[in-house]
Amino acid sequence: MDLNLYEYKAETAFSHKDLLSIHDLTQDEVYQILSLGLKLKAQSKAGIPHPLLKGKTLGMIFQKSSTRTRVSFEVGIYQLGGYGLFLSSNDLQLGRGETIADTARVLSRYLDGIMIRTFKQKDVEDLAHYSSIPVINGLTDLLHPCQVLSDLLTVYEKKQRFSGLKLAFIGDGNNMAHSLMFGCAKVDMDIALACPEGYMPDDDIVKAAKTDAQLSGSHITITTDPAEAIEGADVVYTDVWASMGQEAETQERKKAMQNYQVNESLWQLAKPDAIFMHCLPAHRGEEVTDAIIDGPMSAIFDEAENRLHAQKAIMALLMA
């Protein structure tokens, strides 16, 4: 699939008010985001201004700290001609008991869009329900859609296609695993997940992703065997074993996932031209070795950069 074929759709209005989950999008809408992301990236590299959101303001609510999410959204809205307003938990009355509904209604009077990075998916959904402006899910414990749309952009840049590719995810069946299943299913890319017993992805997410996969023709495989998952993979992906908020489980999780490290031995089972991806931050020496994350197969910094370009496309399509 040539994403340039979707460029014309990127010039039209987006059919969704919010971006809460990739599951909510059609395949065409995913391609629409990726196509515009590629176009905006090319313009950035060429020094061509693209003030698609001139005069618009994005409120950025952070109940979880971040490096990539904050910087990419803040720089992204600036490059689109708008302004990003950082709002931590300490800055909002949410931290003192104001309801999400009241906060949503008030912020809708001031802002043109909201990005929220928080814990509960329901909080994001409630914020979107009561807001009259677009809401973007910057991360929850359940899903990480902006990251995966950026990942798909990176895969396309490296492989120039989706159909016929296989992505292997090794490790905890967390929010990244969930959104990767949705993302791969939308673009007809196979995905195999290897997760330890007790750390499998959410059953409802798996069911929904498999429904998407049936429509696109992709396949979802879930196993406890990392070797089975990575066999013949074009893309190998992993994430930290203990995410933010799970620090108390670190030792228990290390023990459960000690055989799920992406290392040189496991890598031999992937295709010779496979790429390595990680949403970062990485715990080097745990879920991945230095030889892999710093090796020629690693695409992690291209992937991190593409947060900026994919999210600019998301903001432009939702807020323009």
Instruction: Give the pLDDT confidence of 36-72 residue by residue, as tens digits.
Output: 999 999 999 999 999 999 999 999 999 998 999 999 9
Would you say residue 52 lies in a domain? yes
Q: Which residues of 238-273 are buried (b: 16+ CB within 10 A; e: fewer)?
A: bbbbbbeeeeeeeeebeebbeebbbeeebbebbeee
Q: Which residue range is the domain that position 299 belongs to?
A: 147-303
- The closest of 307, 317, 297, 5 to 134, measured between CA atoms, is 317
Whether residue 147 lies in the annotated active site: yes
CB 174 within 8 A of CB 243: yes
What pLDDT shows up at residue 7?
58
Catalytic residue (choose from 32, 112, 239, 261) = 239
Q: How far apart are CA 184 and CA 157, in angstroms?
A: 15
* 25 and 102 fall within a common domain: yes
Catalytic residue (choose from 23, 70, 278, 307): 307
> Is residue 163 a known part of a binding site?
no
Confidence of residue 94 (pLDDT cuts 50, 70, 90): confident
The yes-or-no answer on residue 117 being catalytic is yes
105 part of the active site: no
pLDDT at residue 156 greater than cutoff 90: yes
The catalytic residue among 32, 63, 79, 144 is: 144
Q: Mark whether 127 and 55 lie in a shared domain.
A: yes
Asked whether residue 3 is assigned to any structural domain, the reply reads no
Q: How far is it, in rounded angstroms, from Cα 15 to Cα 26?
A: 10
Is 90 exceeded by the pLDDT of residue 300?
yes
Q: Is the pLDDT of residue 312 over 70?
A: yes
Mark whether 151 and 258 lie in a shared domain: yes
Q: Are residues 135 and 159 in the same domain?
A: no
What does pLDDT average to over the chain? 94
The owner of tokens 């089975």 is 228
Q: How many residues does the chain have?
A: 320
The answer on pLDDT for 251 being more than 50 is yes
State yes or no: 175 annotated in a binding site: yes
**Residue 2 predicted with pLDDT over 80:** no
* Shared domain check, 273 and 159: yes
Asked if residue 92 belongs to a domain, the reply is: yes
Tens digit of pLDDT for each residue in 162-208?
999 999 999 999 999 999 999 999 999 999 999 999 999 999 999 99
If you average pLDDT over residues 290-297, what whole number do you get? 98
Q: Are residues 155 and 194 in the same domain?
A: yes
Average pLDDT on 134-158 reads 98
Structural domains counted in the chain: 2
Residue-level pLDDT at 97: 80
Position 128: which residue type?
A
Whether 269 contacts 230, CB under 8 Å? yes
- The confidence score (pLDDT) of residue 95 equals 57
Asked about 279 being catalytic, the answer comes back as yes
User: Do residues 117 and 173 share a domain?
Assistant: no
Q: What is the pTM of this model?
A: 0.95
Rounded CA-CA distance 94/87 in Å is: 11
Is the residue at 13 inside a domain?
no
- Establish if 2 belongs to a structural domain: no
Instruction: Confirm or deny that 99 is annotated as ligand binding.
Output: no
Q: Is 244 annotated as a binding residue?
A: yes
pLDDT attached to residue 308:
98
Q: Does 190 lie in the same domain as 207?
A: yes
Burial class (CB in 10 A: 0-12, 13-18, 19+), 123: middle
- φ, ψ of residue 192 to 5 degrees: the values are -125, 125
Catalytically annotated residue among 147, 151, 188, 309:
147
pLDDT of residue 8: 47
> Is 184 labeled as catalytic in the residue annotation?
no
Confidence of residue 90 (pLDDT cuts 50, 70, 90): confident
Task: Based on the residue annotation, tell me whether 307 is a catalytic residue of this protein.
Answer: yes
Q: Looking at the domain assignment, is residue 4 inside a domain? A: no
Q: Does 207 lie in the same domain as 248? A: yes
Residue 12 lies in a domain: no
Q: What is the pLDDT of residue 185?
A: 98
**Is 89's pLDDT higher than 80?**
no
At residue 198's C-alpha, the angle toward residues 195 and 199, to 5°, is 40
pLDDT, residue 266, reads: 98
From residue 31, how far is each of 115, 164, 276, 278, 296 by CA, in Å? 21, 17, 22, 22, 28
CATH of the domain at 113: 3.40.50.1370
Q: 31 and 139, same structural domain?
A: yes
